[in-house]
Amino acid sequence: MGGYGPRMLKAFENCPPNRQVAEIAFGVNCGAAVERVDRFAQQMGFESVGSNYVMRIKCSSKMEYVLMKMPNVAIKRMTRLRLTVAALVCAALTSTVWAAGDTPDRCEKGTYAGKLPGKSSYRKDSFIWAVSAKFAADYCMPDSFVEAELPQGVEAVAYRRAEDHDMQTCTLTDGVEKCNPLKNHVFEIYTRHNAVEHAREGRYFDSIAAPSANLINERLSSTQARLKAGQVPAGASGVSVFESSQFFLSTVADGKTEIRLGGMYLRTFFEGILDGLDYLAVYGQLGFTQRSIWKGRTSQQDLYFLIDHLRRPDERRLSWAESIAPREVGTFVFALKIPKRIEAAMIAEDQK
């Protein structure tokens, strides 16, 4: 069958899952290569049940001539056409069942576009994922992505190292230029709606993206003069619902922060990016494992991403020593224990 038969039959077999289908059957209505088709069916896991019966209808001499001259290739095409029609009928019946309210257990809200077994076309996924079992079921993500220890309200965490080629630092030595793009750790976190307390009222915030403007360092006096003259309209650059000072990485032991490793910065916040879910993306520069304080970390200390309360203007400003002093994790607005697979990836990327 030139490979078309097995592929078409396998595609047909993949149609019934979660449709309450108990049996698949197919028939052969031509007399060509009967024994060969029988062997093929048995190799594919089917067994012979019953028989087909055909009665020829007398037709015009012109039609008989056409049938006699029909090559085997055409017969194969007819066979493939019948299988295609069968698959379409299965899809149509499935749609009818779904319309009646019998929805499938998986992929209820969408599908994962990354690489999966059996997919020949997919999107490149550069993230390390840790997702809840519900998130994986809703969007048909691989079971290997499921993380049992995500905190309450967190449905998914995606991590990657990002390189910003619009922000490269270069050196010139003996006429040879060497440039390095800015490298960041990036977390993209999906939480249930309002699981993260907002510092300010606001629906979404997107950080500014102006690559060419990064090459121009405006003097502070010029910036202040523009603001004073009203050249910058109120809210022109967006109003963040968080302050960057609220985000940081820290090790935690016995429920308290231990080693504060550095700040994180808001990239994007978007309410309702998926059904019932908000999206928070933050980033921080590589290098925390190169700091001397990292060497003091013990195996009992877990790595956390934390969001602190936004202090009111009338609150006393903490000293540096007070800000890095151990604190109960429960006193933070949001606390995410970094899943071990993501932590391992972070350390590996940081040490490259």
Is the pLDDT confidence value at 2 over 70? Answer: no
Is the pLDDT confidence value at 348 over 80? Answer: yes
What confidence tens digit (pLDDT) does each residue in 96-135 have?
333 333 433 457 788 888 988 888 898 899 999 999 999 9
Is the pLDDT confidence value at 19 over 80? Answer: no
Contact 245/318 with Cβ under 8 angstroms? Answer: no
DSSP symbols for 6-58: HHHHHHHHTS-TTTT---------S-TTHHHHHHHHHHTT----S-----PPP
* 3 state DSSP class of 300: coil
Q: Which residue has the tokens 């319309």?
A: 99
Both structure tokens of 207? 């950080």
Phi and psi at residue 237, to the nearest 5°: -100, 10
Q: Which residue has the tokens 């599908």?
A: 111
- How many whole angstroms separate alpha carbon 169 and alpha carbon 290? 19
What confidence tens digit (pLDDT) does each residue in 132-191 have?
999 998 888 899 999 998 998 999 999 999 887 777 889 999 989 999 888 889 999 999
- How many whole angstroms separate alpha carbon 80 and alpha carbon 209? 52
* 3 state DSSP class of 171: strand
Phi and psi at residue 81, to the nearest 5°: -65, -40
Q: Which residue has the tokens 């108990």?
A: 22
Query: Which of 67-71, 76-80, 177-181, 340-344 is modeled with the greatest confidence?
Result: 340-344
Residue 301: the pLDDT is 86
Is the pLDDT confidence value at 312 over 90? Answer: no
- How many whole angstroms separate alpha carbon 284 and alpha carbon 149? 24
